[in-house]
Structure 1
Amino acid sequence: MTTRQPEIGRRLALGAGAVLLAGGGATRARAQQAPTIRIGFLTDLSGPYKDITGETGAICARQAIADFGAAEKGINVEVLLSDHQHRPDVGVGIMREWFDRGDVDMILDVGSSAIALAAGGLVTERNKVHLNTGAASSDLTGRSCNANTIHWPYDTWSNANSTARSLLTSGGNRWFFVTADYAFGKSMQADATRIVEAGGGQVVGAAVHPFPGTTDFSSYLVQARARRANVVAFANAGADTLNCVKQAAEFGLARAGIRPAALVAFIQDIKALGLETAQGLTISESFYWDLNDRTRAFTERLKPRLTNGNMPNMDHAAAYSATLHYLKAVAELGVARAKADGREVVAAMKRMPTEDDCFGRGSVRADGRKIHPMYLWEAKKPAESTGPWDLLKLVGTTPAEQAFRPLTEGGCALVTN
């Protein structure tokens, strides 16, 4: 870990403390005397997903701390921030350092499926808490589930389910995948394949591209056309998805009757593409800043903190939601007890219903899956937009009870029939 990362962590911790300790000398004294809850925000600060996860997610976590009123409840909270660089060895090394020397109690974000899966064994061994708000692999609540992990706000199954069912209904029955060569991409392709085939569709081919470093996807698009696909599904994210969508437009895939489908995309992707290019593209997100009065109110509270010009997406909103729910469990158990037993904290979070401005009411299942509705959005036409972030319109809703993989189908050892 470079010297820059601890410096960032200290700056963010001090910022969180300043918010928590505001409100009077007596409150400040109580917070200083209490044991400190430490949250390790492990994310992408310099790579392709830095706007999708990154600093904005940490800002949302700090907003949750402020909204919870931890200082008034006598709970001192610090947030440490570090860059995993999309390398499992780096990510696991940071977590070990945090657990062994930093007294960190909870790991948040981890916007990399490979690192998130590697974290499972570590948090189980150290009896810490992992609230994943950035990775997508459905294995986190399937065969790799554990009693110390909860997964917000979506996964490969939920997005594949939302997008694939919609396209199958409208005739998209011959699928070709362009897949990033790491755990997230492979999991997304596998989940989408099962849903497509269960719905009567056919997978006619797939191409796996290296991650990171690929910028030319033309050969894959040529393969898709040669296989007579009518859907090209991009099982990647960030800059890879942007390049795929742009090159699909340049190749005229839509004019040839081939529909590009971004299986995981965010409002940041639509903004980067521009509505002229993105219009009509469908994406699945469980949060949108303009969904309802509560999401708009949350965004207004957050805006003064957003100095990076970004806006919250579902990963960022999940960092808020997960932190808020975690602090409710900490308050119920007491700080000392929560710090001593991560499994007990997660068990409490599963017992308690979730409630926040980002996702409304929800729950956490036995397998660690956070449950809420999923929404299908369509990028607006340029003439329909009224501002720089007015980019999406709602075209479909999957109710919470149908939005995620059935509990009995994931293979999680925590689930008893």
Structure 2
Amino acid sequence: MRTTLLAATLVAAMPINALQSMAWQGVARAQTAPAPKVSQQISDGVVRLGFLLDMSGPYADVTGPGSAAAARMAVEDFGGTVLGAPVEVVVADHQNKPDIAATTARAWFDTGGVDAILDVAASATALAAADIARAKNKVIVFNGPGAVRLTNEACSPVSVHWAYDTYALANSTAQATVKAGGDSWFFVTADYAFGQDLERDASAVVKAQGGTVRGSVRVPLNTADFSSFLLQAQGSGAKVVGLANAGADTTNAIKQAAEFGLTQGGQKLAGLLVYISDVHSLGLKATQGMLLTEGFYWDLDDETRAWSKRYFERVGKMPNMSQAGVYSTVMHYLKAVRKAGTDETGPVMQAMRDTPVDDFYARGGRIREDGRMVHDMYLFEVKKPEESKGPWDLYRLVATVPGDKAFQPLSASRCPLVKK
């Protein structure tokens, strides 16, 4: 019987001073039996897991409450305790501001008793939090952000990049699109670390395949009106308009591209980070035929379907790769704490690296020296409306891309931890 069930979440539209003083408070634990004796190797008698998410902004639908729910599911499924210590989840809204992400991470580590941060939504905020984790020697894992620099220039001994990255997305989607005849590109790019990395990586793949890049335009985060940017894309005459953005920015761009008649005019959209929730929201009529890459799909096999059904019952929608990745991350971290016999960073990181990731999310996954968790990626084509058998039956599997082919090879790594 589970001795401890987690019930605590901090969310936020609250000022940063409130986050600093309250982010670790109000965490309630409902106990159904006397707590067992806690191992002396658990620093303060509690294992606290932090999640810095976008709870109300452009990435709230693809991370946010859904990622927090996945974290709680994992803690409950693990049994609520590890080494006799209760496990708590603490959640804060960083509002997509790197300074808030950094300040909250510092406060959590310094006085909040947070042992590890197991997701930071968006790349700019992730890079800011990663600097704090490195300085404080605390574990930090990323599922929501995609910037490949997290395992290159910004790699560290305490960080792991779990779900996907810009290299894997660009490598799989751009290759398939160019091979299908889309050999000239124009990029509509989110103007921050993630978008810039995604454009760079996709451009390199397009050129390596013999294609050309006719230009790009940088778009501020959370832009509502894409008209001027899409007009530039139309004017370029490129066969493919690559959307190097995510979340609400991607769905807004796709909707407005349809209104502008961009695809009707012969150009093809390539969503370089498209989540299942985006496709579901936009509908198959608007997205049919689009090629996209994901690290997880709820309908891959019996295990993914079983877990996703439980998630759906709790959240009311199917999980995406980042949300499923959070569950996988929490389970792997707690197993590492149990194996190491402590929540001390060094032994836990070693146990995480030594233990293969083998669950419904990743079969035979492994954490490399640059912090990249290598696992298979999947190239999908969005189904036509008449092919779908239900509201979330959205993808047709085109190819499984082995992890060692999907992610950047270590020979090309810019991470100083990689020995060459």
Q: Same fold (TM over 0.5)?
A: yes
Q: Deviations over 1:196-246 (max 9, x none)?
A: 11111111000111113x222222222223222000001111111111111
Q: Deviation per CA, 1:115-161: give whole Å up to 9, x if none.
A: 11122221111110001111110000011100010001000100001
> Which of 278, 286, 311 does residue 287 from structure 2 map onto?
278
Contact conserved, 2:245 with 2:272, CA < 8 A, in 1? yes
1:224 corresponds to 2:233: yes
The whole-number CA distance in structure 1 between the counterparts of 2:312 and 2:17 is 30
Q: Is residue 369 of structure 2 the alignment partner of residue 366 of structure 1?
A: yes
Alignment length (residue pairs): 402
CA spacing shift, 1:4–1:119, aligned 2, 3 Å? closer
Q: Distance in 2 between matches of 1:200 and 1:276?
A: 31
Quote the residue 1:125 is aligned against: 135
Structure 2 counterpart of 1:245: 254
Q: Distance in 2 between matches of 1:389 and 1:31?
A: 43
1:20-99 matched pairs, under 5 angstroms: 21-22=31-32, 24-25=33-34, 28-30=35-37, 35-71=45-81, 74-99=84-109
Q: Counterpart in 1 of 2:119?
A: 109
Instruction: Give 1:72 deviation, angstroms.
Output: 7.2
Matched, 1:415 2:390: no
SS in 2 for 1:93: helix
* Post-superposition offset of 1:48: 0.9
CA change 1:230–1:194 in 2 (3 A) is same
Following superposition of structure 1 onto structure 2, how do residues 1-400 of structure 1 map, counting pairs within 5 Å?
A: 1=16, 3=18, 13-14=27-28, 17-18=29-30, 21-22=31-32, 24-25=33-34, 28-30=35-37, 35-71=45-81, 74-212=84-222, 214-306=223-315, 309-335=316-342, 338-339=343-344, 342-400=345-403
Shift in alpha-carbon separation, 1:246–1:72, aligned structure 2, 3 A:
closer
CA contact (8 A) 1:53 1:109 kept: no
Q: Which residue is equivalent to 2:5?
A: none
Structure 2-normalised TM-score? 0.91
Q: Distance in 2 between matches of 1:375 and 1:284?
A: 6
Unaligned 5+ segments in structure 1 are: none
Task: Return the match for 2:405 from 393, 402, 405.
Answer: 402
Identical residues among aligned pairs (%): 47
Counterpart amino acid of residue 223 in structure 1: Q
Q: Deviations over 1:243-274 (max 9, x none)?
A: 11112222222232211011001011011111
More helix by share: 1
1-structure distance, mates of 2:347, 2:411: 23
Shift of 1:75: 3.5
RMSD: 2.0
2:380 is paired with a residue whose SS is strand
Offset of residue 7 of structure 1: 6.8
- How far off its partner does 1:356 sit? 1.3
Return the TM-score normalized by structure 1. 0.91
